[in-house]
A and B are shown apart, each in its own frame.
Chain A
Amino acid sequence: MANETDITVEVHSQEDIITARQSGRELARQSGFGTVDQTRLATVISELVRNALVYAGGGTCRIYSDISDSQRTLHLVVSDEGPGIVDVPRALEPGFSSGGGLGLGLPAVRRLMDDMTIDTHPTGTVIHARMTRKR
């Protein structure tokens, strides 16, 4: 397989969660990220993609890397056309869940990645998370 550094996985089913995180892990590996970062990314993909599936009925997961002389950055963008996150600060609190979960998904993303931006409206949600390492 050629070095794929920009992958998009359409998410409609639970199997797609597994496909997305495996693709993400592979892309991270090919972009020079270590096994600890690969596992962090796979876990984060699992959290965000499942949220898109559960709360929005599906979505799109894009993973790409951006490599310069001094650093490499891994980008994860998960978007959906669901109802949006009603109360973002609350959704980020560990333990808050509207769906009977542990409420640890979004807090985990924040901890495992370097930063995360949430763009959410009643017509959909886009979450962009990044991980940057010096070369």
Chain B
Amino acid sequence: MRVPVLRLGHILLTSVQSDLTDEQAMTLQGDILELLRDGKADGIVIDITSVDVVDSYMARVLNETARMARIMGGEVVLTGMQPLVALTLVEMGREIIGVETALDLESGVERLKSSLARRDRDRNDTRANPGDRYGE
């Protein structure tokens, strides 16, 4: 099983539908980074509504994906985290998840659009190269 990644304009959407094995999580990370690298998208919303365990391994994969995406100029937003999962992560100590989060897919897409628009504005400030691909 491979987690499907959908493209919506400059944004990628993926919904993790079940508990992933470590290998499936790494494959998803690779797929996402490849699409970002190839310039096929600028950001991704990862929905984890159906995921009922996020352990330190999964946390690391998510953090790494976000960090690498940022290095490539992209953004990652995590959505739909179950309250029980969030509670457990808090109990596990420190801020274990270093990824931007939003309540649901819809607000995640909005969040991503506005951070990408902000990013472009910042670039335009230095380059004077107008364009509002993400329209806010």
When the two chains form the complex, which single residue of A39, A102, A104 contacts B88, counting CB atoms closer than 8 Å?
A: A39
Q: Contact at B84–A36, with CB atoms within 8 Å?
A: yes
B87's closest neighbor in chain A, by CB? A36
Tally chain B residues at the interface, Cβ within 8 Å. 21
Tally chain A residues at the interface, Cβ within 8 Å. 26
Chain B residues near A35: list those with CB within 8 A: 84
When the two chains form the complex, which single residue of B21, B22, B54, B56 contacts A102, counting CB atoms closer than 8 Å?
A: B56
Q: Contact at B56–A105, with CB atoms within 8 Å?
A: yes
Q: Contact at B91–A111, with CB atoms within 8 Å?
A: yes
* A 88-102 to B, binary, CB cutoff 8 A, 1 in contact else 0: 000000100000011
Q: Contact at A14–B22, with CB atoms within 8 Å?
A: yes
Q: Contact at A104–B96, with CB atoms within 8 Å?
A: yes
Q: Contact at A105–B55, with CB atoms within 8 Å?
A: yes
Q: Contact at A108–B19, with CB atoms within 8 Å?
A: no
Chain B residues near A108: list those with CB within 8 A: 55-56, 91-93
Contacting B at CB under 8 A, from A9-47, are 14-15, 17-18, 21-22, 25, 35-36, 39-40, 42-43, 46-47
When the two chains form the complex, which single residue of B22, B56, B60, B91 contacts A40, counting CB atoms closer than 8 Å?
A: B91
Q: Contact at A101–B53, with CB atoms within 8 Å?
A: no
B19's closest neighbor in chain A, by CB? A18
**Interface status of A107 (Cβ within 8 A of chain B):** yes
Contacting A at CB under 8 A, from B53-111, are 53-57, 59-60, 84-85, 87-88, 91-94, 96
Q: Contact at B55–A39, with CB atoms within 8 Å?
A: no
Q: Contact at A107–B93, with CB atoms within 8 Å?
A: yes
Chain B residues near A47: list those with CB within 8 A: 55-56
**Interface status of B125 (Cβ within 8 A of chain A):** no
The residues of B with any CB-CB pair to A shorter than 8 Å are 19, 21-23, 52-57, 59-60, 84-85, 87-88, 91-94, 96
Given contacts A39-B53, A101-B60, A111-B93, 17 further A-B contacts (CB under 8 A): A14-B21, A17-B22, A35-B84, A39-B84, A42-B52, A43-B55, A43-B88, A43-B92, A46-B55, A47-B55, A47-B56, A94-B93, A105-B55, A107-B93, A108-B93, A111-B91, A112-B91
Shortest 3 CB-CB contacts between residues of A and residues of B: A14-B21, A46-B55, A108-B92
